Copies of this chain bind each other. A is one copy, B any other.
Amino acid sequence: MADPHFVAVDWGTTSFRLWVMDEDANILATTSGPYGMSRLKPNEYDHALEDSLRKLNVARDIPVIISGMAGAAQGWCEAPYLSAPTQLDDLGAGAVKVAGASRDVRILPGVKQSSPANVMRGEETQIAGLLREQPDFDGIACLPGTHTKWVRINNRAINAFETCMTGEQFAFFSATSVLSHSMADGGWDENAFETAVRLAINDPLSVPRRLFAIRAEMLVAQQSSAQARATLSGLLIGQELMSVPHYWQGQHVTLIGAAALCDPYFKALGLAGGAASIVDVTAMTLAGIAAVHQQGLHANA
């Protein structure tokens, strides 16, 4: 491999993704696996990491910078939260060097907020990447996911943020709850999604009583799996939007996430009269870690 310079890792609750980078932050090699925090004991991280690096022939003198849940209290090595409002240029200074690791390994901190209480781990790195790519960015980022984050960014700092558990709720309702019987065949009906978003935006208080109707519509009428699934998504995203209007009304929202997640948020924001654009989440993660690497890894950071 041509001149690897550092390794970037996104180590989440359920997944592990690794990129070997050159000096200019180009990707030289990449790998991934299902061994996230929820499947590892603290003493198993080093082996999992070195095993991946051995397969890619990455020498021991190449440092690793990790973002995500590996830095949680129940992860590999706790990287204490920075407190919002917090400058993202400080992210590297808040990194923790993992004692006893087989090489130089740094874990980036998450960000906490006291009131209202909130935490993030991983998204701060993506926002640091956004600020590397768009140095003058000032406004709102939304990071759809298991726990969607809405973040207000001013003066290169995370100023405030909110979290909605929409992704985790969608997974529960669609795969486990009684509604799952009505969407077992998967699919997606765009008209049903739009109708549901509009219903939720116009009458958000009705959403709790509209959820079970997704099941009933199949029992007493004809409703396809695709309609049911898209209706569920539309109701939950519409309800989320009406819970955080101060994060999008009259503002431009930059969505950072996988296309499959950003797409329904983009459409829902449009239906609600909001404006949005989408940027690639992997690019932002790598840009955030590259920014930290560029600032230099101090001996005992």
Residues of A within 8 A of B (CB): 81, 112-114, 116-119, 146-147, 162-166, 168, 172, 176-179, 204-213, 215-217, 219-221, 239-240, 242-244
Contact partners of A220 in chain B: CB under 8 A: 81, 112-114, 117-119
Across the interface, name the chain B residue whose C-beta is closest to A83. B220
Measured in the bound complex, the distance between the Cα atoms of B239 and A243 in whole Å is 12
Given B163, B177, B207, which contacts A212 in the complex, CB threshold below 8 Å? B163
Contact partners of A166 in chain B: CB under 8 A: 208
Inter-subunit contact B205/A243 (CB<8 Å): yes
Measured in the bound complex, the distance between the Cα atoms of B242 and A113 in whole Å is 29
Distance between A254 CB and nearest chain B CB, rounded to angstroms: 19
Contact partners of A176 in chain B: CB under 8 A: 172, 176
- A contacts with B: majority SS: helix
Inter-subunit contact B118/A213 (CB<8 Å): yes
Given B81, B172, B212, B243, which contacts A208 in the complex, CB threshold below 8 Å? B243
Inter-subunit contact B168/A239 (CB<8 Å): no
Inter-subunit contact A211/B165 (CB<8 Å): yes
8 contacts between A and B (CB under 8 A): A81-B220, A112-B219, A113-B220, A117-B213, A163-B209, A165-B208, A165-B211, A166-B208
Inter-subunit contact A209/B244 (CB<8 Å): yes
Contact partners of A211 in chain B: CB under 8 A: 164-165
Distance between A150 CB and nearest chain B CB, rounded to angstroms: 8
Measured in the bound complex, the distance between the Cα atoms of B209 and A25 in whole Å is 36
Distance between A127 CB and nearest chain B CB, rounded to angstroms: 18
**With A147-B178, A219-B112, A220-B112 known to touch, is A206 a contact of B117 (CB < 8 Å)?**
no
Measured in the bound complex, the distance between the Cα atoms of B146 and A86 in whole Å is 42
Contact partners of A172 in chain B: CB under 8 A: 172, 176-177
Given A112-B220, A116-B216, A168-B178, 6 more pairs with CB closer than 8 A: A117-B220, A118-B216, A165-B178, A176-B176, A209-B240, A209-B243
Measured in the bound complex, the distance between the Cα atoms of B114 and A172 in whole Å is 26
Across the interface, name the chain B residue whose C-beta is closest to A147. B212
Nearest 4 CB-CB pairings of A with B: A117-B216, A208-B243, A163-B212, A117-B217
Measured in the bound complex, the distance between the Cα atoms of B118 and A262 in whole Å is 32
Inter-subunit contact A209/B162 (CB<8 Å): yes
Across the interface, name the chain B residue whose C-beta is closest to A218. B117
Across the interface, name the chain B residue whose C-beta is closest to A206. B243
Q: Which of A112, A178, A209 has the most CB of B within 10 A?
A: A209
Contact partners of A244 in chain B: CB under 8 A: 209
Distance between A182 CB and nearest chain B CB, rounded to angstroms: 11
Measured in the bound complex, the distance between the Cα atoms of B206 and A278 in whole Å is 26
Given B117, B147, B207, B210, which contacts A221 in the complex, CB threshold below 8 Å? B117
Inter-subunit contact B239/A208 (CB<8 Å): yes
